[in-house]
């Protein structure tokens, strides 16, 4: 796995500082303000999905028909590990 870029590191840092789940729209608006980058919603979403698929963060989807809410949170430590 290659090293994370500055945007992915910023997103990961923000998620790891939060308690519980953070909604995708909030993360994207925070990241745009924090980094000064003005990429589209899909560009930011790809970075968040990549962090989840690579195992850096947890993701959860709530669905009502075609309406989706995508939430992210920091990885929980494995239970029972000492």
Domain that holds residue 57: 6-74
In a domain, 58, yes or no: yes
3-state SS assignment for residue 37: coil
The answer to whether position 1 is within a domain reads no
In a domain, 80, yes or no: no
In a domain, 42, yes or no: yes
Reply yes or no on whether the pLDDT at 82 is more than 60: no
**Is 79 a residue whose pLDDT tops 60?**
no
The total domain count for the chain is 1
Domain membership of residue 45 (yes or no) is yes
CATH of the domain at 31: 1.10.10.10
9 SS3 class: helix
Global pTM reads 0.81
pLDDT for the residue 1? 52
Q: Is residue 56 part of a domain?
A: yes
Report if residue 79 sits inside a domain.
no
Residue with token string 């899909």 = 42
Is 66 part of a structural domain of the chain? yes
Q: Which residues pair with 62 in a beta bridge?
A: 69
């Amino acid at each position: 796995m290659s090293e994370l870029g500055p945007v992915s590191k910023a997103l990961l840092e923000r998620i790891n500082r939060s308690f519980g789940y953070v909604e995708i729209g909030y993360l994207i608006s925070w990241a745009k303000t924090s980094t000064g980058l003005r990429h589209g919603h899909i560009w930011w979403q790809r970075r968040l999905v990549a962090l989840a698929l690579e195992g850096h963060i947890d993701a959860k989807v709530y669905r009502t028909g075609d309406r989706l809410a995508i939430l992210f949170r920091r990885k929980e430590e494995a239970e029972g590990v000492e």
